[in-house]
Amino acid sequence: MKYLKRNIRSALIVLLGLFVILTVYFYYNLFLYSDRWFSDPNNTRVKVDMTNPSIIPGSISDRNGKVLVETRSYKNDNGALTYYRSYHKDSRYAAHVIGSKKYGIGAEALYVRYLLGYDNNLFERIYQKAFLDQEVGNDVILTIDMRLQKFISQAMGKSKGSVVLMNPNSGEILALVSQPSFNPSADNEDPADESLLNKASYGRFTPGSIMKVITAAAALESMENLNDYVVECKGSTEINGFIIKCYDGEAHGQVNLSRAMEVSCNAYFAQLSLDVGWKQLKKTAEKFGFNKDFLFSDIKTSKSELPINHKTDAEELAWSGIGQGKVLVTPLHMALVASAIANKGIMPEPRLIYGIQPRSGKIRLQGHSKLADATTPEIAQTLTNMMVNVVENGTGSRARTKGMLIAGKTGTAEVGSDKNPHAWFIGFAPADHPTLAIAVILENSGTGGSKAAPLAGSILREAARLGY
């Protein structure tokens, strides 16, 4: 039995390998998810008993220092202090950002680590326990600007949808609105189900023509002589035996890439996505963040999906290339796509926490970080030029604003024959030196050019007026 020793050695290696895999899995998963697990609403370890809190949760304010939620107290009949969370009346304009502990959403739930001071160092924690009557958490300063939140909420009115406005260079989210909304301070009212959903990060919508930006990026990356690539659009075009119509059956004639983007020609992009192929389209889209589980530290989000593979037939691929079919995206992700184009191809990680204000001492600023290299600076510049053209001459012309050059792309996402389409607009401004990136979706409201573009234009104008 000479093989015994050899086999014992292999068994040892196999079992040690199992332990190594276990350890790596253990630490890797905790590294990725431990913050999420900690702040999960089901984690009763960090639930606060407001009648007799051991730690007073800190406040939440916007980037200008306007306090949105804070802990207050009053003396009850027995003379004991009773604590409660007090919401500023404007907090309903940022309901999904501020969120609610009760429903486990938004900053109130997600940032408990800071609000309860679990991020403090040992000395601070011991000092508080030893010398303060009542331990206090840290204040969270958000990146949002309440003036913009209010402006956008009011501009959206009753229409359902979402707007994400961010700084494309730092990833700071200046405004994030989701409608319908709820009132965080009205604790007793039961909000309607849909109103609790943060559509900006969890809502998944058909993108429609804004997807053409990705298709164009894929073509620019992979095809030579794209300038000579011309398609004859007759309004309704038959490709490989199926028919793709342009909006309202409008015939665009001979179109090249720039012209096709300007008029949002479906025939052109359907043909283009077939020639680009599923592999390249998927590759580019994934560089732009499709099919990725984003694990941002400040905000939870759903995954945008582009489900194409070698089994996808030509029809499905063509539909995917113009943002119909099974493609689903979140508004936050679309704002990131706009940011990446604005920021020379570099996609920033979205930020909602501007900084943490401890009990005493300076604000701890949260850093910025790069999420991915979505595309090259050259392609980003080419896309920018085309998107400027869209707003100056094309479907996005109603976003045009005096004194500011806006780059954008409209989208009109068909969602069934009996419903109005979703109106989309993504873009950034000023086009030559972008400081703002935006994604707008208005559900079932009409075309992107007529509904979303004017709203986006006015938001960008207001943000510029405020100095962003």
Partner 1 sequence: MSNKQYEILALTLRYWFVLLIIYIFAQCAAKTIRGIFSSKSVPRSTGNIPFILVLFSLTAFGLLSLQDPGGISIDTALLGVLVSAVILFQFYLLYYLFPGLDEVMLLSVDTLAVLGFIMLQRLTPELALKQVEWFAAGCAAMFLVMLAVPRIKSLGKLIYPLMAAGPAILFLVAFFGEESGGATSRIPIGPFSIQPAEFAKFIFIIVLAYSLNEEKTFRQKLPVYIFVIASVLGVVMQKDLGSALHYFIVFLFIYYISTNDLLLTIAAAGAGAIASFISYKIFAHVRVRVEAWKNPWADVGGKGWQVAQSLMAMGSGGLIGLGLGLGAPYIIPASRTDFIFAAICEEFGILVGGMVIGFYALILIRSMQKAFQARQPADMLLACGSAVSLSIQAFIIIGGVVKMIPLTGITLPFVSYGGSSMVVSLCILGIIQGISMKNEWLAHNMETEFDQDLDEMINDEGDEQR
User: Which residues sit at the interface with partner 1, rule CB under 8 A?
Assistant: 1, 3-5, 7-9, 11-12, 15-16, 18-19, 21-23, 25-27, 29-30, 33-38, 40, 42-46, 122, 125-126, 129-130
**Cβ 188 to partner 1, closest distance in Å?**
23
**Cβ 102 to partner 1, closest distance in Å?**
16
**Cβ 362 to partner 1, closest distance in Å?**
24
**Cβ 91 to partner 1, closest distance in Å?**
27
**Cβ 26 to partner 1, closest distance in Å?**
5
Number of separate helices (H) and strands (E) present in the chain: 15, 19
Query: Which residue number, 36 or 419, has a Cβ lying nearer to partner 1?
Result: 36
Structure-token pair, residue 151: 């402006």
**AA letter at 32:** L
Query: Which residue number, 25 or 84, has a Cβ lying nearer to partner 1?
Result: 25
CB 276 within 8 A of CB 299: no
Q: Is the peptide bond before 57 cis (omega within 30 degrees of 0)?
A: no
Query: Which residue number, 6 or 310, has a Cβ lying nearer to partner 1?
Result: 6
Query: Which residue number, 125 or 364, has a Cβ lying nearer to partner 1?
Result: 125
Stretch (H or E) spanning 348? strand 346-348
Query: Which residue number, 116 or 437, has a Cβ lying nearer to partner 1?
Result: 116
Query: Which residue number, 150 or 300, has a Cβ lying nearer to partner 1?
Result: 300
**Cβ 454 to partner 1, closest distance in Å?**
40
Query: Which residue number, 11 or 81, has a Cβ lying nearer to partner 1?
Result: 11
The residue to which tokens 């370890």 are assigned = 45
Alpha-carbon torsion angle 456, 425, 366, 197, nearest 10: 100
**Cβ 10 to partner 1, closest distance in Å?**
8
**AA letter at 194:** E
Q: Is the peptide bond before 180 cis (omega within 30 degrees of 0)?
A: yes
Query: Which residue number, 126 or 363, has a Cβ lying nearer to partner 1?
Result: 126
Query: Which residue number, 138 or 343, has a Cβ lying nearer to partner 1?
Result: 138
Query: How far does CA 125 lie from the centroid of its chain?
Result: 35
Beta bridge partners of 142: 353
Sequence-distant (≥ 6) Cβ neighbours of residue 93 within 8 angstroms: 146, 149, 150, 153, 177, 181
Query: Which residue number, 19 or 74, has a Cβ lying nearer to partner 1?
Result: 19
What does the alpha-carbon distance between residue 57 and residue 39 come to, in Å, rounded to a whole number? 14
What does the alpha-carbon distance between residue 270 and residue 239 come to, in Å, rounded to a whole number? 8
**Cβ 23 to partner 1, closest distance in Å?**
5
Structure-token pair, residue 301: 């989000």
Query: Which residue number, 29 or 385, has a Cβ lying nearer to partner 1?
Result: 29
**Cβ 309 to partner 1, closest distance in Å?**
22
**Cβ 113 to partner 1, closest distance in Å?**
10
What does the alpha-carbon distance between residue 67 and residue 55 come to, in Å, rounded to a whole number? 19
**Cβ 182 to partner 1, closest distance in Å?**
22
Q: Where are the beta strands (DSSP E) in 242-285?
A: 242-245, 253-255
Give the phi and the psi of residue 411 in degrees, each rounded to 5: -145, 140
Query: Which residue number, 15 or 80, has a Cβ lying nearer to partner 1?
Result: 15
**Cβ 106 to partner 1, closest distance in Å?**
18
Residues in the chain: 468
Exposure string for 22-37, b = 16+ CB within 10 A, e = fewer: eeeeeeeeeeeeeeee
Closest Cα to residue 249, out of 267, 261, 271? Answer: 267
**Counting Cβ atoms within 10 Å, is residue 122 exposed (0-12), middle (13-18) or buried (19+)?**
exposed
**What angle do helix axes 314-321 and 278-287 make, rounded to 10 degrees?**
30
Closest Cα to residue 396, out of 381, 406, 404? Answer: 406
**AA letter at 119:** D
